[in-house]
With several copies, the nearest count.
Chain A
């Protein structure tokens, strides 16, 4: 199969996270990142509802409704974990103590604007949760998303048309086709997924892409 599947995307993200990092994972593909921590590294996962040191999903039958993640799914706590209240949790987030946040996206702009919380439709019930706090406060924002929508529309665009989560907040984008960096000059293609050409990535992207290194033209 051409390109990366969801697991491969998550694994590719995990490879870029340094040892000892404090990491917050969004819902969806970002959650899979926890399964791909490189063998020689230790990440500490934070969930904004009050747990540092989040561990894997518990075995069926041993879920605790009072031990959940921000997506309200049952989780576990590793030895060395800590519980805290919401204001303390957002000291970690707003105060810039979390190293990496991995989030999904509806749209990302060339400048790193992110839209991932609302379609802005008149009858939609908007729900923001901690997304705006995370993008404003966490040191490095990584987006992992399919390159296009289910109907083939580009998600990486010149300007977001959906309501923003934050302006100029994204650092790097991982899709099923490529890895892209948000820079002052624009989006630079850092890596192509196996079997994917730069032309194909460009064709599925709503904004002109830059390349930095020769291998991106392969």
Chain B
């Protein structure tokens, strides 16, 4: 019987190796799989390339992973925000690389990585420094830049509910990068608030079909990044 539940967050991320590329869901704290990230900090792989829209805040979650020196390179659209000190400091010191990608291009690159599309063209960033060094091409009298699909070894995603097949539903704007990141990794690990019985999620309402999910970890009461930051918490 198919059952994708993992024993624990620790077990789910245990095979992440040094040098892996990891997609991490979330837009700010919404959808950030903080318990999976903390398990990754405990597991300790280094030289990671992380693909995530932001770089975390305070000293928990993604920011803590970066602070521990486990991340070699960030691919993101918005690496600073309120309470985001860790990445800027390390980047200014030259200790972490940054590939800055416009948000929509980042999303499409991830989707294409999952969809077997190695490259596509977009008008976004044409005429800006973010298109420098990239191939330009005209279609129908407009100029476009070629962008490559992005794939990862692992995706860490937060959803709301799952069934044993891995079918997922999300909650409000915490959906953000989750569904596309689930498609673009060799191994997709999802933390959910609760399991649903098979059949309890209406097939019309499934957002991520189970085929894109490999491991499910149930975290009934996930921590909230902004609360931890406000409390001055630091992981580990």
Q: Do chains A and B touch in the complex (CB under 8 A)?
A: yes
Do A82 and B102 touch (CB < 8 A)? no
Q: How far is the CB of B7 from chain A (nearest CB, A)?
A: 18
List residues of chain B with CB under 8 Å of any chain A CB: 1-2, 27-31, 53, 77-82, 87-88, 91-92, 98, 100-108, 110-111, 114-117, 122-130, 163-165, 167, 170-180, 183, 198-199, 201, 203-204, 206-207, 209-212, 224, 226
Which residues of chain A come closer than 8 Å to B77, judged between CB atoms?
A: 127-130
Q: Is A11 part of the binding interface, using a Cβ–Cβ cutoff of 8 Å?
A: no
18 further A-B pairs in the complex, CB-CB below 8 A; given A67-B172, A90-B108, A130-B104: A42-B1, A50-B27, A51-B172, A72-B28, A72-B81, A80-B165, A83-B172, A83-B203, A84-B206, A90-B103, A92-B211, A94-B124, A123-B92, A128-B77, A128-B103, A132-B130, A133-B124, A136-B122
Interface string of A15-59 (1 = CB under 8 A from B): 000011010000000000000000000101011111111000000
Q: Is A208 part of the binding interface, using a Cβ–Cβ cutoff of 8 Å?
A: no
Known: A83-B173, A92-B209. A137 touches B127 (CB 8 A): no
Which residues of chain B come closer than 8 Å to A51, judged between CB atoms?
A: 172-173, 203
Do B102 and A128 touch (CB < 8 A)? yes
Do A83 and B204 touch (CB < 8 A)? yes
Which residues of chain B come closer than 8 Å to A86, judged between CB atoms?
A: 27, 53, 103-104, 106-107, 176-177, 180
Bound Cα distance A87, B25 (Å): 13
Which residues of chain B come closer than 8 Å to A68, judged between CB atoms?
A: 27-28, 30, 173
Q: Is A186 part of the binding interface, using a Cβ–Cβ cutoff of 8 Å?
A: no
List residues of chain A with CB under 8 Å of any chain B CB: 19-20, 22, 42, 44, 46-53, 64-68, 72, 77, 79-98, 113, 123, 125-133, 136-137, 163-167
Q: How far is the CB of A22 from chain B (nearest CB, A)?
A: 5
**Which residue of chain A has the shortest Cβ distance to B151 in the bound complex?**
A95
Q: How far is the CB of A19 from chain B (nearest CB, A)?
A: 8
Do B173 and A95 touch (CB < 8 A)? no
Q: How far is the CB of A207 from chain B (nearest CB, A)?
A: 19
Which residues of chain B come closer than 8 Å to A89, judged between CB atoms?
A: 104, 107
**Which residue of chain B has the shortest Cβ distance to A99 in the bound complex?**
B211
Q: Which single member of B82, B124, B167, B173 contacts A136 (CB below 8 Å)?
A: B124
Known: A65-B29, A132-B128. A125 touches B80 (CB 8 A): yes
User: Could you pull out 7 A-B pairs where Cβ atoms are within 8 angstroms?
Assistant: A50-B173, A64-B172, A79-B199, A84-B175, A85-B180, A128-B103, A167-B126
Do B78 and A127 touch (CB < 8 A)? yes
Do A85 and B178 touch (CB < 8 A)? yes
Do B176 and A95 touch (CB < 8 A)? no
Known: A85-B180, A127-B78, A164-B127. A137 touches B209 (CB 8 A): no
Do A125 and B183 touch (CB < 8 A)? no
Do B115 and A94 touch (CB < 8 A)? yes
Q: How far is the CB of A190 from chain B (nearest CB, A)?
A: 26
Do A137 and B124 touch (CB < 8 A)? yes
Q: How far is the CB of B189 from chain A (nearest CB, A)?
A: 16
Q: Which single member of A44, A93, A113 contacts B2 (CB below 8 Å)?
A: A44
Do A132 and B102 touch (CB < 8 A)? yes
Do B178 and A48 touch (CB < 8 A)? no
Do A95 and B78 touch (CB < 8 A)? no
**Which residue of chain B has the shortest Cβ distance to A42 in the bound complex?**
B2
Q: How far is the CB of B167 from chain A (nearest CB, A)?
A: 6
Which residues of chain A come closer than 8 Å to B110, judged between CB atoms?
A: 87
**Which residue of chain A has the shortest Cβ distance to B102 in the bound complex?**
A132
Known: A72-B28, A94-B124, A163-B129. A81 touches B102 (CB 8 A): no
Which residues of chain B come closer than 8 Å to A96, judged between CB atoms?
A: 116
Known: A86-B176, A91-B115, A94-B117. A44 touches B210 (CB 8 A): yes
